[in-house]
Amino acid sequence: MALSPFHLAIPVDNLPAARRFYRDIFGLAEGRSSDQWVDFDFYGHQLVIHEQTKTPAQHALGTNPVDGHDVPVPHFGIVLSWEEWKALTARLRDFATKFVIEPYVRFKGQIGEQATMFLLDPCGNALEFKAFKDRSQLFAK
């Protein structure tokens, strides 16, 4: 079954800063826009940033412990190929990105071994980018 693109709309309290972040740091192609929102091609999916006041989660993220780290909740992101993940990690480091959880490989040697990293956009939205050397492990138990 072919994977259908998702649509995700998120609040940002500083549209120009968020626009620069997703366009310039991630290199995402910009689609339609208005004075209050901007569409981005988020690895083949539609990400829309909407100017709004900060949500409670953007002020103070909750966390859950995973593999010895406090994973921010809520968060969103994408599963990349291993090479894309490494390239994105290098790009983010080139931009001196501050990570919530530095890039690393978790569950090493276990089912579901994956590379992961967490960061915040300028408006406090948490993002996770991950990769599996063996993508069949994505839903493995």
Q: CA 10, 119, 61 angle in degrees (round to 5)?
A: 65
The model's pTM is 0.93
Dihedral sign for Cα 12, 15, 21, 24, please. positive
Provide the residue ranges of all domains of the chain, joining segments of one domain with +. 7-137
Which class would CATH give 7-137? alpha beta
pLDDT tens-place string over residues 69-94 = 999 999 999 999 999 999 999 999 99
